[in-house]
Chains A and B, each alone.
Chain A
Amino acid sequence: MTGTVVSTITVRVLLFASYSDVLGLDSLELTIEKPATVSDALNRLRSLPGGERLPAKPLCAVNLRHVQPTTPLSAGDELAILPPLAGG
């Protein structure tokens, strides 16, 4: 019997400050179908309790660099969702 092979990737998601407060956690592993983008990961986060409070286009970083929502994700990436910055 043949079936569709769904391949997935797992990324580590980091949440900070107010976003960590609204989702009630500061990190999680997310397994998503590939090909996956930052936007796909955000959509998954929005389905979690409190996730609906994330803004439409939060700042995001992958592997310590700012990225756009269209940036592709690879297995093992570290995706950080960044609330409005307030340094300085």
Chain B
Amino acid sequence: MYLSQHPVDLATLIAAAQSPERGGIACFLGTVRNHHHGREVLRLEYSAYAPMVEAECARIVAEAQSRWNVAVALKHRVGRLEVGDAAVAVVAASAHRDEAFIACRHVIEELKRRVPIWKREFYADGAVVWVDSTAGSQAGDRPQDCFDPCGASQ
């Protein structure tokens, strides 16, 4: 399962990706920031389209593992998270560091681009807002409108 209600345990993911022939292990940990566009963030809530998260993460991991000689482990948390909590972790293990770094970066970027997870931020001023990275740009000119999902998931 790529999605979890429980705290992300990096050691478990490293153990899942590690093997005697894979000496280089790259890790990415995404944690909850205390600010967003100059506003103080108290906490946030992640929600997800869980069945598709599992399917899309499986495709991303399979793509990375077929493209590079790596083993990938991945976990994303949902529910209420406090500042400093880990929301996502990616581990890529390879024989050497180059492929581990590249695959780790690729997986987190594809996750952000393709995996259906949403985040609601709770601000110190009392506001509660769904995070929209496309807000402020023109309709039809937004990055996600230009996203070619069919091409990306081949």
> Using a CB–CB distance below 8 Å, which chain A residues touch chain B?
14, 16-18, 21, 55-57, 59, 61, 64-68, 80, 82-88
Given A16-B47, A59-B149, A87-B46, output 14 extra A-B contacts at Cβ < 8 Å. A16-B49, A55-B145, A57-B145, A64-B55, A66-B56, A66-B149, A67-B149, A82-B116, A85-B112, A85-B113, A85-B115, A86-B131, A86-B132, A88-B30
Q: Which residues of the partner chain A approach B83 to less than 8 Å between Cβ atoms?
A: none
> Using a CB–CB distance below 8 Å, which chain B residues touch chain A?
30, 46-49, 51-53, 55-56, 76, 87-88, 108, 111-120, 130-135, 139-140, 142, 144-145, 147, 149-150, 152-153
Judging by beta carbons under 8 Å apart, are B87 and A88 in contact? yes
A67 to B111, CA, bound (A): 17
For this complex, 12 residue pairs linking A to B, each with C-beta atoms less than 8 Å apart, are A18-B132, A65-B153, A66-B114, A82-B49, A83-B130, A84-B134, A84-B142, A87-B53, A87-B88, A87-B115, A87-B119, A88-B108
Judging by beta carbons under 8 Å apart, are A55 and B52 in contact? no
> Which of A68, A80, A88 interacts with B111 by CB under 8 Å?
A88
Number of A-B contacts (CB under 8 A): 96
A81 CB to nearest chain B CB (Å) = 10
> Which of B52, B135, B140 interacts with A64 by CB under 8 Å?
B52
A79 CB to nearest chain B CB (Å) = 12
A18 to B45, CA, bound (A): 13
> Which of B51, B108, B139, B144 interacts with A85 by CB under 8 Å?
B144
A14 to B49, CA, bound (A): 9
Q: Which residues of the partner chain A approach B76 to less than 8 Å between Cβ atoms?
A: 87-88
